[in-house]
Chains A and B, each alone.
Chain A
């Protein structure tokens, strides 16, 4: 499919703007940017004719006159920030506002053994070491044109290295968006390396006020070395006039174990591409997801679990509640490559659809080339059980609280899997508030 002049002009315009903004965070790795630009000029940004993006077409929205320059001074109430942090005294808290690292609100301690955090614009050799790792790993990944856009227009980011076998301090990274500036196109990248046998609890928490339009194209690259144990959490509350795309690539080495959690609570157009690459033997991956789609929100979760070597285990469990005019997609791919014998791969997706105008598209997709494997998948879509509803009402509960109770039970199946107590409480209270749940446990 040939690109139209308009498509090419769009890429050129964005590139020019990016150059004018004068940010080139990958300048020591020019090939990353040039390869991505090439891909964009060849294929353009995916629209409704693109299989992977046919339910999620924001190619028209990107034509807006976006701002690629990050604001240098931001007015923000300290209390506004504080009220949105996880109440964990022991945690490392890293606050970004509109893409800018806010050191005054962050609690970062680089003198802790085995913990290194940098803003990507630090441009030091430490950052370059981490980028080097990423540049090596990324050769293996599935191509995605929004990831290319992120590489081409990158205007913010961080690098994080954890080399700590004790796992004493959870890391919380906040990505806040407030009312300023309008029409920001933010291409943010986080590169995380968890070293051999290290343990890490990492959370990326996205929160936006609803007021202004923005386009956030986020990318997280997580490299887990041999024997690493990582809990990676994503909590998303995006604006009701926003576009958010989050590409996550997770590279697993031998004997590593990764649990990912994706909580998507709001967003006008929100898309997650989560790719797990089980690159060596004896990897274990658990992918948990919970999405709550209401208003006119559109939330898509696309996951890939790529079994490339024998003796690995993966288990994926995503649940969703779709209310009002919400639209959602779950697409779960499992690849079992020819030599990935003795693979165990499981997947389950369960949805509750609460109104006649809510939509969910669910698509399990297993491609198995090895013959000695155990794989299963299942998807269910239903409504609130009428029998359960009648039972609770016959005990004196009104419809609203009976509904809240049943939805709570549905959702907490996933929330209970979060091991970090402070975080579990943080997510739990958000969900309960959302459900109008007022029961004591």
Chain B
């Protein structure tokens, strides 16, 4: 589904990604872990098409197509979803306000008929239950005055509504209490299927108790320095990141 080869990206002259290789197949869940500043969020942003980052090497293909040539909206329409680490506040725009247009622009792009108001409402209600989110929250200005947990739940709600093929969760667990974490994880697990994939970017192993990954990768200094199964996450939780750093720094570049 997603194939990243030797991906390099920089921002304002700082080289952040220095050659990422990663393959995500349909149905798989990959966790990307790593210390602060290792490039985890940059990777998520580059995949979603954030324009501040300059891709200066490598290739990314999504379902056989060159992802890097697509606009952010076309990536979304092809089925990529980014749950933001810091969801923006948009005064005067509610979640339901833009989701209907978003869903229909995605459908149009994929040659499907628009969803009518009745079906949209039914669809929304279903997903609201899934992430235990309140109608009143969805009709309020997006993220304005939302708690940290509400913001993240809203991200997962949008993911559930848009039903992407590949969801990228950028530190969705940060700032969540244990109840919110369970709800968020539950939402993600409901989306899991043999056709859909998830990339979970996280700093801690905690979320991975709920969203069990097939693979765990450790990102450090802009490269994936170690890959393994979920056991790797436990090892990191226990030992921290220092041993990874030491191991990496002692290897001649």
Binary CB contact string for chain B from 48 to 64 against chain A (1 if under 8 A, 0 otherwise) = 11110000000000000
Q: Do B102 and A397 touch across chains, with their CB atoms under 8 A apart?
A: yes
Q: Do B71 and A401 touch across chains, with their CB atoms under 8 A apart?
A: no
Interface segment, A101-109, A117-125, A329-337, A406-414? A406-414
Given A390-B72, A439-B97 in contact, is the A406-B90 Cβ separation under 8 Å? Answer: yes
Contact of A441 among B77, B97, B158 (CB under 8 A): B97
Give complex CA distance A405, B142 in Å: 12
Q: Please tell me if A398 contacts chain B, counting CB pairs below 8 Å.
A: yes
Q: Do A396 and B162 touch across chains, with their CB atoms under 8 A apart?
A: yes
Q: Do B88 and A396 touch across chains, with their CB atoms under 8 A apart?
A: no
Contact of A401 among B51, B75, B81, B105 (CB under 8 A): B105
Residues of A within 8 A of B50 (CB): 390
Q: Do B92 and A399 touch across chains, with their CB atoms under 8 A apart?
A: no
Residues of A within 8 A of B158 (CB): 395
Residues of B within 8 A of A394 (CB): 48-49, 72-73, 75-76, 81-82
Give complex CA distance A228, B34 in Å: 67
Give complex CA distance A385, B81 in Å: 21
Query: Would you call the interface of chain B mostly helix, strand, loop, or mixed?
Result: helix
Place the interface of chain A in its size category.
20 to 34
Q: Please tell me if B118 contacts chain A, counting CB pairs below 8 Å.
A: no
Query: Would you call the interface of chain A mostly helix, strand, loop, or mixed?
Result: helix
Question: Shortest Cβ distance from A389 into chain B, in angstroms?
Answer: 9
Residues of B within 8 A of A401 (CB): 101, 105
Residues of B within 8 A of A388 (CB): 88, 90
Give complex CA distance A391, B77 in Å: 14
Contact of B105 among A398, A412, A413 (CB under 8 A): A398
Q: Do A391 and B90 touch across chains, with their CB atoms under 8 A apart?
A: yes
Give complex CA distance A410, B141 in Å: 12
Residues of B within 8 A of A412 (CB): 92
Question: Shortest Cβ distance from A44 into chain B, in angstroms?
Answer: 46
Residues of A within 8 A of B72 (CB): 390, 393-394
Binary CB contact string for chain B from 68 to 84 against chain A (1 if under 8 A, 0 otherwise) = 00011101110001101
The closest CB in chain B to the CB of A413 belongs to B92
Binary CB contact string for chain A from 428 to 441 against chain B (1 if under 8 A, 0 otherwise) = 00000000001111
The closest CB in chain A to the CB of B139 belongs to A441
Question: Shortest Cβ distance from B110 into chain A, in angstroms?
Answer: 10
Question: Shortest Cβ distance from B228 into chain A, in angstroms?
Answer: 30
Residues of A within 8 A of B91 (CB): 409, 413
Residues of B within 8 A of A395 (CB): 76, 98-99, 102, 158, 162
Give complex CA distance A441, B139 in Å: 9
- Residue among A388, A392, A396, A438 with most chain B CB within 10 A: A396
Q: Please tell me if B4 contacts chain A, counting CB pairs below 8 Å.
A: no
Q: Do B98 and A392 touch across chains, with their CB atoms under 8 A apart?
A: yes
Q: Do A396 and B49 touch across chains, with their CB atoms under 8 A apart?
A: no
Question: Shortest Cβ distance from B53 into chain A, in angstroms?
Answer: 11
Residues of B within 8 A of A5 (CB): none
Residues of B within 8 A of A392 (CB): 90, 98, 102
Give complex CA distance A117, B117 in Å: 46
Residues of B within 8 A of A77 (CB): none
The closest CB in chain A to the CB of B50 belongs to A390
Q: Please tell me if A387 contacts chain B, counting CB pairs below 8 Å.
A: yes
Given A390-B51, A440-B100 in contact, is the A396-B93 Cβ separation under 8 Å? Answer: no
Residues of B within 8 A of A397 (CB): 73, 98, 101-102, 105
The closest CB in chain A to the CB of B48 belongs to A394
Chain B 89-133 residues near chain A, CB threshold 8 A: 90-93, 97-103, 105-106, 109, 117
Given A395-B98, A397-B102, A401-B101 in contact, is the A408-B92 Cβ separation under 8 Å? Answer: yes
Q: Please tell me if B145 contacts chain A, counting CB pairs below 8 Å.
A: no
Contact of B88 among A387, A398, A441 (CB under 8 A): A387
Q: Do A405 and B97 touch across chains, with their CB atoms under 8 A apart?
A: yes
Q: Do A396 and B97 touch across chains, with their CB atoms under 8 A apart?
A: no
Chain A 362-411 residues near chain B, CB threshold 8 A: 385, 387-388, 390-399, 401, 405-406, 408-410
Q: Please tell me if B87 contacts chain A, counting CB pairs below 8 Å.
A: yes
Give complex CA distance A387, B76 in Å: 16
Residues of A within 8 A of B84 (CB): 391
Q: Do B99 and A409 touch across chains, with their CB atoms under 8 A apart?
A: no
A-B contact pairs, 7 of them (CB 8 A): A394-B81, A395-B98, A396-B106, A397-B101, A399-B71, A405-B98, A413-B92
In order of increasing CB-CB distance, the 6 nearest A-B pairs are A409-B92, A396-B76, A393-B72, A396-B102, A395-B102, A396-B106
* Interface set of A (CB-CB < 8 Å, partner B): 385, 387-388, 390-399, 401, 405-406, 408-410, 412-413, 438-441
Q: Known contacts A388-B88, A391-B87, A396-B109; can you find 15 more A-B pairs with CB under 8 A?
A: A388-B90, A390-B72, A391-B84, A391-B90, A394-B73, A394-B76, A394-B81, A395-B99, A395-B102, A396-B76, A396-B162, A401-B101, A412-B92, A413-B92, A438-B101
